[in-house]
Amino acid sequence: MKEIIVANNLVKTFKSKERKGLFKSNAKIIRALDKVSFKIYQGEIFSLVGPNGAGKTTTIKILSTLLIPDEGEAFVNGFDVLKQPNKVRESIGLILAPDKGFYVRLTGIENLVYYGRLYGLSKSEAIKRAEKLVEIVNLGKDAYRTVDEYSLGMKAKLSIAKALIHDPPILFLDEPTVGLDPLSARRIRMLITELAKEGKTILLTSHNMWEVETLSDRIAVINKGKIVAIGSSIELKEKLGLKYIIEVEILNNEVKEYETTLGERGNPVIKITTDKPSEKLMSLIEELKEKKYNLGYIRIIEPSMEEVFAKIIEEK
């Protein structure tokens, strides 16, 4: 697979002042990124997750040329973020805050045309592209209202349209659904999925672990400026040895050999906790069939990404 984003040993430090009394303060060095390295491949949705202050936004700002790293290197679409920043900017669409970066006295469509012109589109090209994008993000007639009348959900949709105005191959989305109502968030997630299917590479941050698991091909967990785990949600769960719950409903039988609980349909349900769900389920079904039990629903309940996140952060 083609590498689209490469980060090698990125280091970034900041100075903050720690107040000591009314007039005295000491400078404190904060290591926001500590040798962060990862690769993202073409067409991949790659999520970067971690606690507040872990380094997620700092990483995105370096990759989008808004910050200069103290050490390390990064390449976006084959371009060096330090030596070829203009080429990097041409290759990316960026959302750092879905409610920022708009001229509130202009309409949504006028904002998009303005940014399209900044990217070198002719006026007719910018208008055509803007009209297409407001339909894609489902803004509809709201695109012709001034932005000061927009809800947060409308601004989130407009921010994605703005990031797409020059049709970049790469998107950096920093919490694109934060603060949105469930319907608006669902539409944004569907759009992200469609963009990836079209071949766009997406770097996503979110505190919504269900959203991360649903959307992502791979996930990197960052804590205190370090990447502490990376892989698909399944790979992360397996590495941590998290437990799965197997549920098998029994119909028209009295269960004697197994402990059961009363199921949602009033039938006994066998529940087993295991870290090898496929093997355990197959052996259990064979046993139950040999004993002539009539089976109802069969369900494997996976550990959630919230459990993965909590365990990784607690261990580190």
Examine residue 316 and state whether it is found in any structural domain, yes or no: no
Contact 101, 159 (CB under 8 A): yes
Examine residue 272 and state whether it is found in any structural domain, yes or no: yes
Domain of 81, in residue numbers: 3-231
The confidence score (pLDDT) of residue 24 equals 61
Whether 156 and 224 share a structural domain: yes
Say if residue 276's pLDDT is above 90: no
Say if residue 21's pLDDT is above 80: no
The band of 1, judged by pLDDT with boundaries at 50, 70 and 90, is: confident
The confidence score (pLDDT) of residue 28 equals 78
Per-residue pLDDT tens digits for 80-116: 999 999 999 999 999 988 778 899 999 999 999 999 9
Examine residue 314 and state whether it is found in any structural domain, yes or no: no
Tell me the C-alpha distance between 131 and 108, whole Å: 10
Say if residue 14's pLDDT is above 80: yes
Per-residue pLDDT tens digits for 295-313: 999 988 888 888 888 888 8
The band of 15, judged by pLDDT with boundaries at 50, 70 and 90, is: confident
SS (H, E, C) 64-106: CCCCCCCEEEEEECCEECCCCHHHHHHHEEEECCCCCCCCCCC
Structure tokens at 246: 């197997």
Structure tokens at 90: 């041409």
pTM of the complete model: 0.82
Contact 204, 173 (CB under 8 A): yes
Per-residue pLDDT tens digits for 125-161: 999 999 999 998 888 899 999 999 998 888 988 999 9
Question: 10 Å Cβ neighbour count for 270?
Answer: 21
Examine residue 183 and state whether it is found in any structural domain, yes or no: yes
Tell me the C-alpha distance between 263 and 286, whole Å: 21
Say if residue 316's pLDDT is above 70: no
Examine residue 310 and state whether it is found in any structural domain, yes or no: no
Which residues are paired to 221 by β-bridges?
49, 229
The confidence score (pLDDT) of residue 312 equals 86
Whether 268 and 224 share a structural domain: no
Say if residue 19's pLDDT is above 70: no
Whether 153 and 14 share a structural domain: yes
Last residue of a domain, one of 198, 231, 264: 231
The confidence score (pLDDT) of residue 101 equals 86
Say if residue 23's pLDDT is above 70: no
Whether 261 and 134 share a structural domain: no
The confidence score (pLDDT) of residue 180 equals 78
Mean pLDDT of 160-188: 88
- Phi/psi region, residue 290 (left: phi>0; alpha: psi -120 to 50; beta: rest), is alpha
Whether 115 and 254 share a structural domain: no
Question: What is the chain's alpha carbon radius of gyration, rounded to the nearest angstrom?
Answer: 24
Closest CA to 191 of 176, 206, 179: 176
Per-residue pLDDT tens digits for 26-81: 667 888 899 999 999 999 999 999 988 889 999 999 999 999 999 999 999 999 99
Examine residue 65 and state whether it is found in any structural domain, yes or no: yes
* Residue 20: CATH number of its domain: 3.40.50.300
Whether 45 and 86 share a structural domain: yes
The confidence score (pLDDT) of residue 62 equals 96
Whether 116 and 187 share a structural domain: yes
Whether 261 and 135 share a structural domain: no
Whether 204 and 247 share a structural domain: no
The confidence score (pLDDT) of residue 307 equals 86
Examine residue 309 and state whether it is found in any structural domain, yes or no: no
The confidence score (pLDDT) of residue 110 equals 96
Q: How far apart are the first and last CA of the chain?
A: 31
Last residue of a domain, one of 231, 264, 292: 231
Give the chain's domain count.
Answer: 2
Last residue of a domain, one of 231, 262, 280: 231
Whether 20 and 42 share a structural domain: yes
Mean pLDDT of 262-289: 88
Examine residue 96 and state whether it is found in any structural domain, yes or no: yes
Mean pLDDT of 174-182: 83
Share of the chain above pLDDT 90, in %: 56
Tell me the C-alpha distance between 186 and 86, whole Å: 33
